[in-house]
Structure 1
C-alpha cells in the first residue's frame, strides 16, 4: 500500500473506542502507531493488513471499486443539496462499509456526506457528534473531502444558531489555496451564501452583502435561479440595513424578474416576501403610506404562521403613522396567523404593542418595563436591526411624554448598533 491511510485508521479506532495500545498490541509499538495515524510514515503492507484486520476491515478489499464508490458518494451529496430533497432508496450501511474498505479521502468524504444526510433528516445531535470526530482527523487541505466537511459543518452550526462558529469554520476553508476549485459553481455559491446568511444573522450586514454578491455571481453563472432569488432577497435585506435603500429596491426588482422563470406554485410566497421587504425599505425612510401598501400586498400572498411577519410590520407602521385603531385591527389578525406557539422574537414585539395600544394611556413605567425586556432580548441575540427599529419607536413615546433622559439612552443604543452594522461587526 503506497497511500497514507493513517488518519482513517485513527478515525476507525476512535469509533470503536480502542486505545492506541489496544489496537497495536502484538503488531507494533504505540509510538510507531502514533506516527502512522499522523501520516508521518507509511508502514509495510503486513502492518497495514494486521491493523485493518483488528479494526474489522479486509486489507485486500481496499483496492476494489474506488471510482465507483467515490461517484456514488458524489451522487448522494448532489441529491442532499437539492432544494426539494427527496430521499432515494440507498443502502447507507453498505455504502459506508465499501467506503471504509477504500479508506483515505473516500472514507472521510462518506462521513461528511453522511452527516449531511443526518441533518436533512433532523438528526442534529448525531450529526454533531460525527462531525466532532471527523474534525479531529480530517486534514485541512485542498481536498474534496475537506470542502464537503466544511460546508456540512457550517450547515450544522447554522441549524443550531451558532453563526459565529459557522463563520469561523468558513474562514478555515477560505485559508485553503484553491478552495473555490473544490466544488462546482453551485456548491461554492452555497458556501458563500451560508457565510452571508451567518453574517446577516449576526447583523453584520456589510460583510454579509459582500459574500452575497459573490454567491450571486456563481448562481447566475450556473443558472441556479432559485438560489439566485434567495440570494437577491438576502442582499436586499443587507442593503436596507446599511441604508442603501435605492440599491435595495433595484435588487428586489431583479428578484421579481427571476421569479417569472420559476415554477408558478412558487410565485405567490416569494412575491409576498419581496413585497414585505420592499415595505421595510419604505418604512426605514419614513414613507409610511408606501410601506403600508407593500405590507398589505405581502399579506395577500403569505400564508400560515409566516403571516405574523407582515402583520407585525403593519402594526408597527400604523402605530408610527398615528393610525392606532388600524394597528389594533391588525393585532386581532395576529391571532389568526396560525396555530402553535409564537416564536420569542415575535412575542417580544407583540408585547410592546400590547402595552402601547392598550385602551388606557400606557404608564411610562409599563413602557419602560416592556422596553427593557424587548431590547435586552434583541441585543443579547444580536438582532441589532430590530433593536434600532424599536429604539426609534420608544424615542417617540418618551419624547412625547417629556422623558428626554430615557430617549437619549435609546439614541445611544441606536448609534452603537448602527455603527456595528455599517462596519460589518
Structure 2
C-alpha cells in the first residue's frame, strides 16, 4: 500500500490532479483508492503512473523502508550523545523527500526538536513542538510519550524544572521503553534540590544505560548520583571520593574530556562544602584547565577557585581581586551568561566588603535565581540574607525573608 503514498506525494508535488495523472491509465476513482490504500491494484498500473511522474517507484519504496532504520539509529545516537553521527543521519533523512508521507515523519520531527535543544536552539525546537501539540489526536501512543520525553528535555534546557517533572511523570514506563527519560527526571529533581527523588530516578536511568551498554551516559548518571550524597555529613566521604576517582579514571580511558571537567567541578564543590579549601581550589583549577574557555563551566570553576582560595586564605587579597577583575573582564564578552556575571559580582562585593552586596542579593540575584528555578541558590542566599538582616537589626526585612524561606 506504500505505492499509493508515493504516487500521491509526487502527484501533488507535480501539481497534477488525479484526473490529469490517471488519464489513459485508470479511472479517477481507482487512483483515489490507490492513493488511500483502499483497493488492490496491479503493478502495471502503478508503474505507468510512476513513469508519468518520472519517479522510480521501487527506489522510493526502498527509501521508505530505509527511513524506519535511520529513525531508530537517530534515536539511539541522540541517547548516546553522538552528535556527529546524529547530524549525519539527520542530513541523510532530509535528503529523502518521501519522508514527509512516511509513518515516521512525526517521530523524526520530535527527534529533530530534541537535537535542536541539545545544540542550544530552543526557538527551532519550540516551532516544531508547538505545531505537533496543536493536534495530538493523530499521535500514536509511542509518539505521545516521545513528545512528553522531548518536552521534558526542552523544559530543562529552559530551566523549567517543575514543568519537566510534570510532563515526564505522565510517561508510562511499561508502554514506553526509552527509559532515558528517567535521567531527565532525575536531573530535574536534582535542579530543585530534591536529592532523594533525584537519586531514585538516577538509579532507574543507570539500570537502563547499563542494559543498553551506554557507557557515556553511565558516567553522567553515576556523577549525578554522587552529587546527591556528596555533601551528606552522615556518609563516609572517603567512599564518595573513591567513586569520583574511579569515574575520573574512566573519563581518561574513554577520553571524555567534557565529562571529566564536570566531574572535577562537582568533586571540587564537595570538597568546598567540607571546608577542604586547598583540595577544592586545586580541583576547580584543573576543571578550568580542561574545559572550554569562556564556557559557563569555565566561569563557575573560576569563581569556585577564587572563593575557595579566599575562604581558605590561600592567596593574597590583592591577587584575589586581580582574578575577579580578570573574570569579570572575560564575562563582558559573554553577555548571555547571566548566572556567572551574578556570581562574580557577588564575589567582587564580598572581597571588597562592599555595602551593596546584600542589596544586590535581594534585588538582583535572588529574583534571577527564582525566575530560573535555581532552587539551591535561592535557599543558600535567602538564608544568608536572613542572617544579615537579623544581625543588622532589620527585623521587618528579616521576617520577609523568613516567610519566603518557609514558603520554599
TM-score, normalised relative to structure 1: 0.67
2:136 paired residue number: 137
Aligned-pair CA distance for 1:115: 3.5
**What is the CA deviation profile of residues 359-396 of structure 1, one whole-angstrom value per residue up to 9, with x for unaligned ones?**
xx533xx2331121222222332222123333455566
Verify: 1:239 aligned to 2:233, yes or no: no
Contact 1:193–1:211 (CA under 8 A) maintained in structure 2: yes
Distance 1:286 1:404, change over 3 A: farther
Contact 1:124–1:156 (CA under 8 A) maintained in structure 2: yes
Distance 1:394 1:249, change over 3 A: farther
5+ residue gaps, structure 1: 17-43, 418-425
Q: Which of structure 1's runs of 4+ aligned residues deviate more than 6 A? A: 44-47, 50-53, 58-63
- Of residues 209, 226, 239 in structure 2, which corresponds to 1:219? 209
**What is the CA deviation profile of residues 284-312 of structure 1, one whole-angstrom value per residue up to 9, with x for unaligned ones?**
34444544444344444445123321222
- Of residues 187, 194, 197 in structure 2, which corresponds to 1:197? 187
Verify: 1:362 aligned to 2:354, yes or no: yes
* CA–CA distance in structure 1, aligned partners of residues 238 and 223 of structure 2: 10
* CA–CA distance in structure 1, aligned partners of residues 253 and 332 of structure 2: 27
Aligned-pair CA distance for 1:404: 7.1
1:345 paired residue number: 339
**What is the CA deviation profile of residues 29-68 of structure 1, one whole-angstrom value per residue up to 9, with x for unaligned ones?**
xxxxxxxxxxxxxxx9987657799xxxx99989955644
Contact 2:189–2:195 (CA under 8 A) maintained in structure 1: yes
Distance 1:296 1:94, change over 3 A: closer
- Of residues 125, 128, 131 in structure 1, which corresponds to 2:126? 128
1:334 paired residue number: 327
Q: CA RMSD in A?
A: 4.3
* CA–CA distance in structure 1, aligned partners of residues 233 and 37 of structure 2: 60
Look up the SS of the partner of 1:203 in the other structure: coil
2:17 paired residue number: none
1:312 paired residue number: 303
TM-score, normalised relative to structure 2: 0.69
Contact 2:152–2:184 (CA under 8 A) maintained in structure 1: yes
Contact 2:185–2:201 (CA under 8 A) maintained in structure 1: yes
- Of residues 109, 112, 126 in structure 2, which corresponds to 1:111? 109
Contact 1:212–1:231 (CA under 8 A) maintained in structure 2: yes
- Superposed, which structure 2 residues align to 1:285-324 within 5 Å? 285-305=274-294, 306-321=297-312
- Superposed, which structure 2 residues align to 1:8-157 within 5 Å? 64-65=61-62, 67-86=65-84, 87-88=87-88, 90-93=91-94, 95=96, 97-98=98-99, 100=101, 102-103=102-103, 106-116=104-114, 118-119=116-117, 124-135=122-133, 136-137=135-136, 142-143=141-142, 145-157=143-155
Distance 1:416 1:281, change over 3 A: farther
Distance 1:159 1:310, change over 3 A: closer
- Superposed, which structure 2 residues align to 1:260-271 within 5 Å? 260-262=249-251, 266=255, 269-271=258-260
Aligned-pair CA distance for 1:231: 1.6
- Of residues 369, 373, 377 in structure 2, which corresponds to 1:382? 373
Aligned-pair CA distance for 1:107: 3.9
Look up the SS of the partner of 1:161 in the other structure: coil
Contact 2:182–2:201 (CA under 8 A) maintained in structure 1: yes
Distance 1:377 1:116, change over 3 A: closer
Look up the SS of the partner of 2:334 in the other structure: coil
Aligned-pair CA distance for 1:333: 4.2
Aligned-pair CA distance for 1:95: 3.2
2:271 paired residue number: 282
Aligned-pair CA distance for 1:267: 5.6
2:168 paired residue number: 170
* CA–CA distance in structure 1, aligned partners of residues 119 and 288 of structure 2: 31
Higher RCO by CA contacts (8 Å cutoff, separation 6 or greater): 1
Look up the SS of the partner of 2:83 in the other structure: coil
Distance 1:201 1:118, change over 3 A: same
**What is the CA deviation profile of residues 129-176 of structure 1, one whole-angstrom value per residue up to 9, with x for unaligned ones?**
332333323567653x444433333333333333333323212223x6
- Superposed, which structure 2 residues align to 1:394-413 within 5 Å? 394=385
Aligned residues: 359
* CA–CA distance in structure 2, aligned partners of residues 240 and 263 of structure 1: 22
* CA–CA distance in structure 2, aligned partners of residues 268 and 177 of structure 1: 35
5+ residue gaps, structure 2: 14-28, 39-45, 51-56
Contact 2:110–2:147 (CA under 8 A) maintained in structure 1: yes
* CA–CA distance in structure 1, aligned partners of residues 347 and 61 of structure 2: 66
* CA–CA distance in structure 1, aligned partners of residues 396 and 320 of structure 2: 28
